[in-house]
Structures are given as C-alpha cells and as structure tokens.
Chains A and B, each alone.
Chain A
Amino acid sequence: MPPSSKPEHAAISAISEPAVVRWLLIAAAVLFLGIFLLFPLGVVFGTALQKGFAFYFHTFRDPDTISAIRLTLIAAGIAVPLNLIFGVSAAWLIGKFQFVGKGLLITLIDLPFSVSPVVSGLIYVLLFGLQGVLGPWFIDHDIRIVFAVPGIVLATIFVTFPFIARELLPMMQAQGNDEEEAALTLGASGWQTFRKVTLPNVKWALLYGVILCNARAMGEFGAVSVVSGHIRGLTDTMPLHVEILYNDYQFVAAFAVASLLALLALATLAIKSIVEWKSGRRLKDEPLYGRGAQA
C-alpha cells in the first residue's frame, strides 16, 4: 500500500514523466522481470508437465522421491519448531529487557545469514565428521551425525536459525513494555501476559516468520548437500533429489519434484502478500535477504 498511489491531478504533470517515457520505463521493467523471473518459473512447470499429467503424478510414486519428500518434511518439522521456540525466546529477551551485551547478541544471532551455505554444511562436517573435533567420540558411541539424518537436520536449523527471531524482534520492541506491565500489575501471571497480551500483538510477524523459516528449511540445498552424503532413499531431501534426477538426465522427473518446491515458494509469496494486507503494513523481508553477505 504505497502512499504514492493517489496522485493529485493538478500538480501531477510537473512532477511526473510524459506518458511515452512512463510506458517505456514500465515496459523495460516488466521485460526485465519477465525474462529473469517469469521465464524460469515457466520452464519449471512447462518441463514438469511436458509428458502429461499421468507422467507427472507417476514421479511421485517413485520410492526414492517419496523418501526425499518425507526427509524434507522431517527436517523442516524439527527445524521450524526449534527455531520458533528460540525466536520467541530471543525476541522476548532482546525486545523486552535492557542489558549489557545486547548488540553483540543480535550480531551473533545474525551470523548464520552471512555464512555461505557450503560453509554452513562444512562446519558440521568438521565438528562431527570422522576427522572432526567431536566426530570420533560420536562414532565410538555408534552415533552417526554427518552423512545421516541428524546432520541434515542440524544444517537446516543453522541456515534458518535467525528467521523467526528476526521477524519478531522489531515487533516486540516497537510494542514496548507498557501493556505487559499493566497486565502483570493487574495480577496476570507471566505466561498469561505473554499469551493474552504479547502474542496477539506479534501474531502476524510470528506467522510470517514461521512461513519464511519453513520455506527456507524445505528448500535449502548447499548446506544440506555438504552434510548429506547423497545416499539415495536415505539422506536425500527434495532439493538434493532434484539434483540427482537432473544429473541422471531424468529432466521431467527432476522438474516435477522441483515444481512442488516452486509451488511452495509461490505459496510463501502469496501468504506474505495476504499477511501484509491483513496487518496493514509492509513486512520486513530481512530474513530472506538480510543475509549481509552470502546465502
């Protein structure tokens, strides 16, 4: 809802461009977005449905594909709730209290944003791998972390670590402490205050944070690729399965799996628009691009 959407007719000509220039600029922008965004999207669905719907749905009956989908759901199913608990805890801590070292804490929470995905995976290999710092101990106790499901879950948690905290924090801060203090003074318990006062105030940010976190958790490729070991049917997530199918020249199947992930992305964008509309404010995209460097 940009404030500029209502032009004042009298003054408009002096501070606007001639119609020709306007339409040329619009055409250039639409062409750029079309080539770089709509074409790739078109390719995904076009190729996925190349051999018809029957073949498309057939892909999802392949046991390896099913297990890849299951692993992706497991990884996101563990990573998102854990990061949700962390996000709420960190946002409450930073948003509601004044203490020394707050700035440092925020910087550290942002850290995963600036670590490239490959390096994010690598650190777990270095920690839990055969030659790793803690690896030999875990292997002696017959616990496999790297090249197994726990490694994938850890890498997923790492790359989506700041999302929910980052989305909640500005809301919690802006809300101030007055309402909570009033509730406590009136005899509400801490938990009641959080549930009845704080939560309703931040619910949209919370929802959007969860959705973003989930989208990234299901779509992560680089970090998961490094820790997965690529064992078909065992340690393949959906994005990794897309790569395997593609490198096997099973293009249609690869794009069929990719189309599910693309639908997830489109749903994420749609929900973002709805939430922005519902809450009447622009959401911060920070978690998506806040990564100071790298992804």
Chain B
Amino acid sequence: MTFTLKQKSILPGFGLTLGFTVFYLSVIVLIPLAALFLKTSELSWHQFWHLVASPRALASYRLTFGASLIAALINLVCGVLVAWVVVRYKFPARGFFDSIVDLPFALPTAVAGISLTTLYAPNGWLGAPLMRLGVRAAYTPIGVTIALTFIGLPFVVRTVQPVLEDLDKELEEAAASLGAGRWRTFTRVLLPTILPAAITGFAMAFGRGVGEYGSVIFIAGNMPMHTEITSLLIVTKLQEFDYAGATAIAVAMLIVSFIFLLTINLLQVWSGRPRKASPADDEMIPRIDLRPAFGTQEAK
C-alpha cells in the first residue's frame, strides 16, 4: 500500500529502510511512551487531578517554571550580547570563546551539577564573595536559577548567531546614510531582525530548563515545598513506589513539553528562514532547525 503513496524512484532500499526505521522507532520510542499513557488511563480524572495539583506538586511547578523563566531571560539578554560580540568583533581567543559556548551541551549534567554546587557553596570560589554580600546561592532558588542559566546558555547564542552572520551590511549602511546613529540602527533595524531567532532561543532554553534534572539536583538543596524541582519530585515518588503519582506528574510534564515544542515550531514559522536551505526542505514540516545547514556555505 505504501508503494502507491510513494513517488517512483530508481533508488533501492525503500522497503528495507522504512521497515527498519518504523520497527526501531516503535520499539524504542512509541511503545514505551504508550506505556506511560496506558498507566495514566488506569487513574480516574479525579485521581489524576488530585495527584497533579497537590500542594507539593504545585510548589515544584512554581520553582521549576519560575527559575527556568528567569534563567531564560538572563540568557536572552546575555545570549544576544555574546552572539553579537563573537560575530562582529575581533578579539583575542574569539574562536575559543565561540567553541566553548557549546560546553553546557557537551558537559554531562551531573558534572555541571557538582561543579556549580562547589563553585557557589558558601565556601566556594564564587559562593564566598556572594555570602559576604549577603546572598546565599547554593541550596536556594537562586542556585536553581544559576544551574538553569548554565544549561540554557548556548540556545540564544546559537539561534541568533547565524542570523547575525547572514545579515546584509547594506541594511545598516542604509540606516547610517539616512542619519541613524548606531544605537538607533541597533534598536530599529538590527533588533527586529534578530528578535524572532532570539525569542526562539529563549523558548528552547525555557523548555530545556523545565525538564532539567542532573545539573539542578545538587545545587538545589531539594527541600519539599521550597527547593524541590518537578523532575526530582517524580524521582522521589518513584523511589517511594508511588507509581501513580510519578506517572501523573510525568504526563503533565510531557504535555507541557509538547506545548513548548509546538510553540517553538510556530516561532520558527514566524521567524522564517533567512534563506531556503534546499528545495527538499520545503516539503518538510517546520521543525527545530535554526541553522539552515547550508546557509553559511552559500554565503561564501
């Protein structure tokens, strides 16, 4: 049947790759995910709501979403700054700083977690000076925000960077020749151009923060109602063999992350692509794809 729904091609391997891809996808992803929803369906709507909206769960959502939001806002501002500086200015070790931006992606979260905790502990390199200023970072919501800022750091930089690189110099020259100062050019010409990409990066950082676990649990202190993030609450419930509670909260989280995914995809449509990557790409649905693979190549 599939063959009638497929354009003719002389390339071999359609049946084989389709079969294997769908089989592997089902075994690894679809069936396990279905188990989650199957487990949830054992609960009545009332039970589900009771578990998802318990005071302890609500407190964890407040912390998780609040800290993720603040961290994403910090990254929005600093990310645009870093992208700007790396693309526009020449300075010593620029290439190094450009590469190191990806560190939070590559560094295992547990390593980030213990390292940030040691750094911001009351006797740590940065924790001690902060204590003298009267700020306690580790084991408070501030610590959670710091960890989430670290984790979300590359998103805005990496979404804004290609847009800045592809930006036409003529646009700015036109603004300048029309008498606009640098600041005016930035706010009126440059900012509107990079804003969609920046917002997309912001949404990604926010989404990533909401689900983050490893880098946060060490620095958080993990006090129920106070410094307990939602991911940890799921783990705690599992360790107490409260499978229903863990499942219900997990489903709630999953739905939230799908909403994020949808929002980000819509944002991508809004931000559009600076340049068509390839004709084939047009047939694909909008997806997380901020750096058109061949954008820079074409620019050369």
Contacts and interface: CB of A to CB of B under 8 A. Distances in A.
B182 A97 contact: no
Contact of B115 (A1, A176, A258): A258
B271 interface: no
B108 A2 contact: no
Interface string A234-267: 0000111011001000010011001001101110
Contacts of A114: 207, 257-258, 260-261
B211 A295 contact: yes
A44 B116 CA distance: 9
Q: Is the interface of B mostly helix, strand, loop or mixed?
A: helix
State the main secondary structure of chain A at its contact with B. Answer: helix
A222 B87 contact: no
Interface string B206-223: 011011111000100000
Given A98-B7, A161-B29, A294-B211, A89 B115 contact: no
A248 B7 CA distance: 60
A1 B111 CA distance: 31
A179 B94 CA distance: 39
Report the contact-size class of chain A (Cβ under 8 Å from the partner).
Answer: 35 or more
Contacts of B289: 170, 284, 286, 290
B25 interface: yes
A99 interface: yes
Nearest to A25: B85
Interface in B196-252: 204, 207-208, 210-214, 218, 231, 234-235, 238, 243, 246-247, 250
A132 B35 contact: yes
A292 B260 CA distance: 7
B299 interface: yes
Nearest to A174: B278
B133 interface: no
Contacts, number: 400
B287 A158 contact: no
Given A39-B126, A93-B14, A288 B213 contact: no
Contact of B36 (A28, A103, A119, A177): A119
Given A285-B154, A285-B291, A15 B208 contact: no
A26 B91 CA distance: 8
Contacts of B7: 97-99
Interface residues of B, number: 127
Contacts of A35: 126
Given A107-B287, A154-B28, A243 B176 contact: no
Contacts of A180: 11
B253 interface: yes
Interface of B: 2, 5-7, 9-14, 16-18, 20-22, 24-25, 28-33, 35-36, 38-39, 78, 81-82, 84-91, 95, 97, 99-112, 114-116, 118-119, 124-126, 149-151, 153-155, 158, 162, 164-167, 169, 172-173, 176-177, 182, 185, 204, 207-208, 210-214, 218, 231, 234-235, 238, 243, 246-247, 250, 253-254, 256-258, 260-261, 264-265, 277-278, 280-281, 283-285, 287-291, 293-297, 299-300
Kindly list the 10 A-B residue pairs having the minimum CB-CB distance in the complex, ordered from nearest: A294-B211, A116-B211, A219-B108, A293-B207, A293-B260, A292-B261, A190-B12, A288-B105, A221-B214, A222-B213
